Amino acid sequence: MDSKPHRFNSDFGLKYFLAGSCYTPDGAWSLLYNQLVDMEQKLESAKAQDLRHQAKVLELNEIINSDTAKPWEKMTAEADLIDAEAVKKLWLINLEGAKKEYNTIKSLMAELEPFRKYAHLPLLEATEASQREEWLGELKMRAENYLITMGSIPHDHFSTMRMHPDFETELVPHIAQMTEKLSLAVGTKESLNCITKTLLTLSKD
């Protein structure tokens, strides 16, 4: 169950489903950096929202305490003030959640930093430098999933794989290795055990 009240992403999701979906420390760092920038923007926007809320409360209180305001204007202002305060309570919890998420992202990025291959490059260059390896890992994973679940690689995915510069040196041997492992299970009662062993082997690689 994906439960993340007052958060955009849970700590677990950030670590295992976002950063964990990458194949290199640099790729994971770059993905988390995108999350960090987005969260920083949200936290800055929260400051503006807080100022608008304070201004709204001052305006409503001025109406409520005014000697010239009509009774119905004061009642409307009181109702708006109740709504504003109710929204503020939820907003404060959301803000606390955003701050915790921001800190988690920074912590995960700090953990990855010592393992980055392209940390010496400027930000934009480092992000680009990891793309070749990231795509290689992604295409290998897709090939594994297709072979294990369907027994073949769809033509559109195979076409994508052939566009990668490491197709012949990395992807073809990887597919051949996977095919050899899975072919042992075809038409035998031990197919499930073979697939399970293959998955365990892949998890150790």
DSSP conformational letter for 188: S
Predicted pLDDT at 201: 61
Rounded CA separation 161/27 (Å): 19
Mark whether 25 and 93 lie in a shared domain: yes
| 144 close to 171: Cβ distance less than 8 angstroms | no
Quick one: how far is CA 160 from the chain centroid?
24
- Domain with 157, as residue range(s), is 130-204
In a domain, 199, yes or no: yes
* 41 compared with 200, residue with greater pLDDT: 41
Mean of the pLDDT values across residues 106-111? 98
DSSP 138-188: HHHHHHHHHHHHTSS--HHHHHHHHHSTTIIIIIHHHHHHHHHHHHTTTTS
pLDDT tens, residue by residue, 77-98: 999 999 999 888 888 999 999 9
Give yes or no: residues 55 and 121 share one domain.
yes
Would you state the structure tokens that stand for residue 150, as one six-digit string? 């369907």
Q: Is 26 exposed, middle or buried (0-12, 13-18, 19+ CB in 10 A)?
A: buried
Rounded mean pLDDT, 64-89: 91
The predicted pLDDT at position 1 comes to: 52
Report the domain count for the chain: 2
Tell me, yes or no, whether 18 and 94 share the same domain: yes
C-alpha to C-alpha distances, 1 to 12, 15, 104, nearest whole angstrom: 12, 16, 20
For residue 1, being part of any structural domain is answered with no
From 126, 145, 170, give the residue that closes a domain. 126
